[in-house]
């Protein structure tokens, strides 16, 4: 009779180590994904805020130009140092 004996304890330890490493990598990926989602949401919020501010600025500029363009009086603008004057 010929028999073969394998030591399965090393294989079992290797499988357990592999499972532990896989679980660790899964946790790392989940954590990094959560960080990226948070950052992405924050950036989207910042984009929305900037778009709103840009619209407020456009509205203000439009109102300003409307007032200046419809004025019958002469309007002059100068720089704070009085070096540049515009009509």
Quote the domain boundaries for residue 45. Answer: 10-86
Task: Label the pairing between strands 85-86 and 77-78.
Answer: antiparallel
73 by DSSP, 3-state: which?
coil
Q: Is residue 40 part of a domain?
A: yes
Residue 3 confidence (pLDDT) above 60: no
Q: Which of 59, 83, 64, 63 lies closest to 75 in space, CA to CA?
A: 64
The answer to whether position 37 is within a domain reads yes
Report the distance separating Cα 21 and Cα 73, nearest Å: 78
When divided into structural domains, the chain yields a total of: 1
pLDDT tens for each residue of 6-54: 677 888 899 999 999 999 999 999 999 999 999 999 999 999 999 999 9
∠ CA(52), CA(54), CA(55), 5° rounding?
65
The answer as to whether 23 is a domain residue is: yes
pLDDT score recorded for residue 77: 74
């Amino acid at each position: 009779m010929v028999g073969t004996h394998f030591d399965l304890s090393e294989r079992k330890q290797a499988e357990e180590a592999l499972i532990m490493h896989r679980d660790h990598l899964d946790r790392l990926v989940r954590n990094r994904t959560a960080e990226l989602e948070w950052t992405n949401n924050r950036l989207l919020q910042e984009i929305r805020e900037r778009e709103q501010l840009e619209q407020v600025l456009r509205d203000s500029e439009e109102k300003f130009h409307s007032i200046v363009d419809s004025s019958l009086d002469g309007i002059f603008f100068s720089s704070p140092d009085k070096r540049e004057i515009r009509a």
